[in-house]
Structure 1
Amino acid sequence: MVATPPPDSAGASSGTSGRGGRASATRRERLRSHRLSAPAPSVAAAARHMLATQGQEFWGGRWALAARTKGRATIRDVDAAFERGEIVRSWTMRGTIHVIPSEDLAWVLSITGERQGRQVAAVRRAEGIDDDEMARTEQIARAALSGGNRLTRKELFEALEAGGVSTAGQRGYHLLVSLSLRAIVCQGPIVPREGGPTREQYIVLTEEWIQDAASPANPLAELFTRFIASHGPAGARDFAWWTGLPLGVARSAAVESLALSDGRRDEASARLTVVAEQPEPQYVVTGPAVPRRSAAAPEVLALPPFEEYFLSYADRTVPCAPEFLSAIGPGLNGIVRPIIVARGEIVGVWTHSVAVGRHADDPVPVLFTQGSATDLEVAAALDRYRDFITA
């Protein structure tokens, strides 16, 4: 059955401006789901809601969480959440590094880790990384990190070299990713950097650093429901893209999630709801716990590279007019540029350097069309980012 959620729970019944009423309504609801119009009370709460936030650019992943947090969250606030062990960073899906709540790392990797490993098996063979090499790598890493030790990537690689495991070329990277996909290590506390925001984290043993790992009864259904809660309206194709799982598995996850939701007796529980059937079912999460929009949330936002609001969908023309997609990416180099979002629609890009001595420079916006956002709105959005990065 297709349901129409209440106006502040899903925007499928509201909004008519922009490129079509339905697209506008979808953008409005996604802003809420992404906590861009309904900010979270803390960085940890924003991360918990998003589950996995893209973090290839480390500063960008941290800004993605701060932009979803009430008030003027700074990079120090996000780094403190890493230091407290509330969040970590690891290769959680699609061979891409994400920021994720510590408690959720292991069960998410139980779904995505093996598939990611198979996808890079040929590269590992080319690098001469076989099972025996990985066993030696794990033994050395455990010995070097046990007892609460934390090492930089360089220090871990030095330990591997001292133990007879070569990290030359790309071998060190692939060895680290392999350890991470099996949840042996993760990236946790911040490595300080003089004169600018850090670009690095210490590597730690997952079993020692994370003490409160969650264990959902149905991990695949949990993963789908959490994706819809943070990205809906969305469907199985979007979930398949986001996770890197096959479309058949994604559709099964949707069916399982909907069945579990329908079977709940507790009216206070979040529920998976179908809001459109064509061309494929689109879902949102409804219920009393769904974040409510804030009148104080800005309507124009400067969001980071690899932003979830843009990148997490099979069809990216909902938030962005087709003619501007190539200006954002992914380009031939795989880069996805920072974006400016006005009332749910991507209206431009921006640039900024986090190099030492340059992170306090003014970010530079480039709007696709004039009149999509005022100069004051864009300046306020970029000022909020600058407050974050210069704290």
Structure 2
Amino acid sequence: MAARPTRPARPARPAPAAEPLPREVSLARIVAQGLVPATAAPDPVEAVRRQLAIQGQQVSAIPHAIASRTGEAVGMPQIDEAFGAGGLVRSWPMRGTVHITTAADYHWMREALLHRMASWMRADEERFGHGSAGLERAASAAWQAIERAADQGRPGCTRAELIEAWQAEGVLPDLIAAGADDSYAKRHLIVGLHAVGALVQGPRSGGEHLVIDARRLPDTRTGPGGSGGAAQGQEGHRAALAEIARRYATSHGPVSAADLSRWTTMPKREAARALQDAVEMTNAEGYAADPASGAVPLARGLATGGARGSLELMEPGGTVPRGAETLYLRADLPDLLAAHRAQAERTRFLASFDELHVGYKDRSCLTDAAGERLICPSMNGMFRPILVDRGRVVAVRPVGAGLIWADSARRSARLERDVERAVRAVEERLAR
């Protein structure tokens, strides 16, 4: 019997494109981020504490990001003082990316997420020989270099001095395998020592943050896990993840579990559990709410209707419609947005790597694909400063260059005037 001819396989249908988040989500995020006077922090340390962490990859952009979230009275002197007095530090507390945190939050947060960097650390051990014994030797030499700087009246040592100390102590020849990229290996040794809590960066000097001894910072027991610790496998780990989720949703919301997963590298399921734990914790009887400091009940919400849609809170215990994604936000955010909408819609000039852009997986409410290419044209992780008007990116202003308008921007005399005013205000503020 002749074989029955086979039908050609039908081409697979492409997955439907996800609808962009409504502009309402972008405006709500602006309010939650402390970018309007009503939610701005009184000082740099409080601004960072509310965010839990802000990107610090580009040193020159850090003051801009912090100043954007504080009252008008805060300028460079207050920001430098926050680092100089030990209130703020710079390190790699999560996902192998440089962030600014408060000194009080640093160790417990770092330990809660350290396991997410374990494979990276193991790969470096194999590639460069940075085993635990090698890290201990490098840490010891670094601490001695920091002590020498203190004897000279300086709060820490530079990166160059750190490398010199390792060379003098014979650490680098033993740690860097033959044929390895020397500069790359040094960088990863520095990151590794920050990741394990030996070093951290503090006061600014010139164009860098000096390296200081991280052992002097408040330890993990001062965090949400208390004596139960914060690291994976310890009793306080879940409480630490819930506090990370609470701080993130309060300061970045509306956010999804996918957003938190990307921000921390937690698996999405773990991120969803942490967010739900945060909702239950902040709605529990006896929770010490303090809206002025961001200690507020969290709620679940939904974004509906695509780009022109709306943001709605869900009833407690309500079910999520099929295909929709749960958003988490401070329960008073819709009211805050209604009261301060005009401020949220104002034109603002934000730093390279600003959390309003890089702090989310889904930022379709803020810009489109063309806008993403404008912000990061080489797709190499280097982001340009952005101009946001009425919740959308309208232009970028590369450092040392002129303004570049987004294709989607509806240019007008009003917009051009407001963009110029926003840039000038930031430059004058940081020059004070």
Residue 411 (structure 2) aligns with: 371
2-structure distance, mates of 1:263, 1:308: 29
Q: Is the 8 A contact 2:67 2:75 kept in 1?
A: yes
1-structure distance, mates of 2:329, 2:168: 52
The C-alpha deviation readout for 1:208-247, integer Å capped at 9, x for no partner, is 2558983113111000000001100001100000011111
Residue 129 (structure 2) aligns with: 128
2-structure distance, mates of 1:99, 1:222: 17
2-structure distance, mates of 1:342, 1:304: 14
1:325 and 2:369 correspond: no
Q: CA deviation at 1:299?
A: 0.8
State the one-letter code of the partner of 1:98: H
2-structure distance, mates of 1:78, 1:326: 31
State the one-letter code of the partner of 1:271: P
State the one-letter code of the partner of 1:49: R
Q: CA deviation at 1:142?
A: 2.8
2-structure distance, mates of 1:297, 1:25: 10
Q: Is the 8 A contact 1:88 1:100 kept in 2?
A: yes
The C-alpha deviation readout for 1:229-267, integer Å capped at 9, x for no partner, is 110000110000001111122122122222223323347
- The equivalences for 1:34-53 within 5 A come to 34-37=33-36, 38-53=39-54
The residue matched to 1:374 in structure 2 has which SS?
A: helix
Unmatched tracts of structure 2, length 5 or more: 1-18, 177-181, 226-238, 291-295, 303-319
Residue 230 (structure 1) aligns with: 251
1-structure distance, mates of 2:200, 2:63: 16
Corresponding residue to 1:157 among 131, 155, 163? 163
Root-mean-square deviation (CA, aligned residues, Å) is: 2.7
Residue 67 (structure 1) aligns with: 68
Q: Is the 8 A contact 1:142 1:205 kept in 2?
A: yes
Q: Is the 8 A contact 2:345 2:389 kept in 1?
A: no
State the one-letter code of the partner of 2:33: H
Q: CA deviation at 1:144?
A: 3.0
Q: Is the 8 A contact 1:27 1:344 kept in 2?
A: yes
Of the structure 1 ranges 141-150 and 154-163, higher mean CA displacement relative to structure 2 is found in 141-150
1:274 and 2:300 correspond: yes
Q: Is the 8 A contact 2:48 2:100 kept in 1?
A: yes
Residue 331 (structure 2) aligns with: 286
Residue 300 (structure 1) aligns with: 347
Residue 423 (structure 2) aligns with: 382
Report the structure number with the largest CA radius of gyration: 2
Q: CA deviation at 1:329?
A: 2.2
The residue matched to 1:169 in structure 2 has which SS?
A: helix
2-structure distance, mates of 1:309, 1:351: 17
Q: How many residues align?
A: 356
1:102 and 2:103 correspond: yes
User: Given the superposition, is the C-alpha separation of residues 113 and 21 from structure 1 closer, same or farther in structure 2, using an over 3 Å criterion?
Assistant: closer
Residue 268 (structure 2) aligns with: 247
Q: CA deviation at 1:291?
A: 7.5
User: Given the superposition, is the C-alpha separation of residues 27 and 297 from structure 1 closer, same or farther in structure 2, using an over 3 Å criterion?
Assistant: closer
Residue 215 (structure 1) aligns with: 223
Residue 233 (structure 2) aligns with: none
Residue 14 (structure 1) aligns with: none
1-structure distance, mates of 2:144, 2:431: 37
1:179 and 2:193 correspond: yes
Of the structure 1 ranges 174-183 and 370-379, higher mean CA displacement relative to structure 2 is found in 370-379
Q: Is the 8 A contact 2:108 2:220 kept in 1?
A: no
Q: Is the 8 A contact 2:96 2:117 kept in 1?
A: yes
2-structure distance, mates of 1:43, 1:35: 12
Q: Is the 8 A contact 2:384 2:399 kept in 1?
A: no
2-structure distance, mates of 1:330, 1:312: 18
The C-alpha deviation readout for 1:3-59, integer Å capped at 9, x for no partner, is xxxxxxxxxxxxxxxxx9971221121011111123222222211111100011112
Of the structure 1 ranges 320-329 and 343-352, higher mean CA displacement relative to structure 2 is found in 320-329
Per the normalisation by structure 1, the TM-score is: 0.83
Percentage identity across paired residues of the two chains: 27
State the one-letter code of the partner of 1:284: L
The C-alpha deviation readout for 1:267-297, integer Å capped at 9, x for no partner, is 7362111112452211112369x98876767
2-structure distance, mates of 1:241, 1:22: 17
1:339 and 2:400 correspond: no
State the one-letter code of the partner of 1:143: Q
State the one-letter code of the partner of 1:328: I
Q: CA deviation at 1:109?
A: 0.5
Q: Is the 8 A contact 1:111 1:219 kept in 2?
A: yes
Residue 10 (structure 2) aligns with: none
Q: CA deviation at 1:330?
A: 6.9
The residue matched to 1:318 in structure 2 has which SS?
A: coil
Q: Is the 8 A contact 1:275 1:281 kept in 2?
A: yes
Residue 200 (structure 1) aligns with: 208
User: Given the superposition, is the C-alpha separation of residues 137 and 21 from structure 1 closer, same or farther in structure 2, using an over 3 Å criterion?
Assistant: closer
State the one-letter code of the partner of 1:281: T
Q: CA deviation at 1:162?
A: 1.1
1-structure distance, mates of 2:170, 2:52: 37
1-structure distance, mates of 2:377, 2:115: 25
Unmatched tracts of structure 1, length 5 or more: 1-19, 194-198, 354-362
State the one-letter code of the partner of 2:35: L
Q: CA deviation at 1:171?
A: 2.1
Of the structure 1 ranges 205-214 and 161-170, higher mean CA displacement relative to structure 2 is found in 205-214
Q: Is the 8 A contact 1:85 1:210 kept in 2?
A: no
2-structure distance, mates of 1:210, 1:87: 12
Q: Is the 8 A contact 2:145 2:161 kept in 1?
A: no
Q: Is the 8 A contact 1:242 1:312 kept in 2?
A: yes
Of the structure 1 ranges 376-385 and 65-74, higher mean CA displacement relative to structure 2 is found in 65-74
The C-alpha deviation readout for 1:61-103, integer Å capped at 9, x for no partner, is 2211101111153223211110111111011211100111110
User: Given the superposition, is the C-alpha separation of residues 329 and 364 from structure 1 closer, same or farther in structure 2, using an over 3 Å criterion?
Assistant: same
Greater share of residues in helix = 2
